[in-house]
Amino acid sequence: MRKTWVSQKGILLTSLGIFTLLLMSSPAVAQLDGEAIFKANCSSCHKPDKKVVGPALKGAREAWVERTGDTEALIAWVQNSQDYLKNSGDSYAKKLYEEYNQSVMTAMPLSANEIMAVFDYIDAYEPPVAQAADTGDMTTEGGGAAESSDPTAWLLIIVVILFIVFRVLWSVSKNLERVKSKQTGDEVEDIDFLAALGHYFKKNQALTVIIVVLISAYIAILGWDWLNGIGVYQSYQPTQPIWFSHKIHAGQNGINCVYCHNSVEKSKSAGIPSVNICMNCHMGVQEGKVSGTKEIAKIYDAIGWDPDKGRYIEGYEQKPIEWVRIHNLQDFVYFNHSQHVVVGKQECQTCHGPIEEMDEVYQYSELTMGWCINCHRETDVTMDDNGYYERIHDDLVEKHKEEGKETFKVEDIGGLECVKCHY
């Protein structure tokens, strides 16, 4: 009997524990996360402390309660503002609607408790301390983003250090010889270091020839590299009029390159995005996590947007944003973006590098003729599900049937012909 009671007691306690956990996790008991609800439903149009598409929400509950005596009107306004305007006759709500360009607030399927949780979060909100970020120092004029130490400079430093060490050791040796000569009465030839060094190289002619040859070869290599570098601007990273981070836009936010560079699939040029494209997002996004309002304000200044009133300034004379071009081929070189992106199915990173990781864009690749030719020699032509190449593929298979070749590089379809790029 006692054993049965113990078993029943254990089952009862277990059931009570499970019921308690379920009760605690239910919406009726669990503490609502006002911040999460706000970010999921309201943050695209509102901020706690700033006007965006709609008004700042801090203090809104207090204003409504002071005017109406309770929160019922506020809850009804949030749940369905258009229905509230039609049925309440509230002049304050109508004035608010008119003030914000008659922007219709989406009906919110939120309960009264959820709405109050949002306003609890809003009323307790404190703006985060802005991180110090001087975007002017993020890049240097004409400087490279992938700078490396100069080996020639290090070599010269090593040579200077060795010269000093040999000079010190030679001085110590001469002083020891002088001390010894005083003891023995022998005379020591008085010769300076440079003369002794010249005498040494004259005496060891084989070593001298080797050193001269090595130095000459190194200077020749430096000269050759310098000549090859003429007109090559790899790592070129000029200072732009607005600090724009591809890492934030393309990387963290996952914005497709084609959204901004919308001519890349249709034209020779990828195109510079118009300010209207920027404003598609930045009508609402008025502050960056790194640069604050400083850089976004430059966009508003160019197009004439008043973020406080949420409208364009009437009669404003718009200004061009003078972006500095980074990737610039010579006039005698023909390159078509649409041909490579649409037909060749190449990613932007093929030429521009890990663009989604760059805070500011720099020239990642050499963009020399040798670099392009190597790419054409190594890149397979994507012919599967590519209607452009169906007939060409059949012709190439027939042409190379004795070799049994069925996959082809760009060079196999004329990718190394001079007139393809030079005309």
This prediction has a pTM of 0.58
Question: Rounded CA gap, 423 and 419, in Å?
Answer: 5
Would you say residue 86 lies in a domain? yes
Would you say residue 81 lies in a domain? yes
Would you say residue 97 lies in a domain? yes
pLDDT bucket at 321, cuts 50 / 70 / 90: very high
Would you say residue 381 lies in a domain? no
Question: Rounded CA gap, 381 and 111, in Å?
Answer: 57
Would you say residue 253 lies in a domain? no
- On whether both 102 and 157 belong to a single domain, the answer is no
Domain that holds residue 103: 34-124
- On whether both 88 and 42 belong to a single domain, the answer is yes
> 325-380 pLDDT, tens per residue?
999 888 899 999 999 999 888 999 999 999 999 999 999 999 999 999 999 999 98
- On whether both 47 and 18 belong to a single domain, the answer is no
Q: What is the CATH number of the domain that holds 64?
A: 1.10.760.10
What is the average per-residue pLDDT within 291-317?
A: 92
Question: Rounded CA gap, 308 and 327, in Å?
Answer: 37
Identify the top-confidence range among 101-105, 245-249, 343-347, 406-410. Answer: 245-249
- On whether both 51 and 79 belong to a single domain, the answer is yes
Orientation of helix 60-68 relative to helix 112-124, angle to 10°: 120
- On whether both 160 and 206 belong to a single domain, the answer is yes
Would you say residue 17 lies in a domain? yes
Would you say residue 163 lies in a domain? yes
In 3D, which of 83, 35, 81, 27 has the Cα closest to residue 54?
Answer: 81
Would you say residue 79 lies in a domain? yes
Do the Cβ atoms of 387 and 353 come closer than 8 Å?
no
In 3D, which of 132, 108, 105, 130 has the Cα closest to residue 118?
Answer: 108
pLDDT bucket at 31, cuts 50 / 70 / 90: low
- Higher-pLDDT residue of 21 and 219 is 219
- On whether both 82 and 161 belong to a single domain, the answer is no
- On whether both 55 and 99 belong to a single domain, the answer is yes
What is the average per-residue pLDDT within 4-20?
A: 47
Do the Cβ atoms of 122 and 60 come closer than 8 Å?
yes
Count of structural domains within the chain: 3
Domain boundary among 86, 107, 124: 124
Domain boundary among 209, 228, 247: 228
In 3D, which of 246, 243, 268 has the Cα closest to residue 259?
Answer: 246
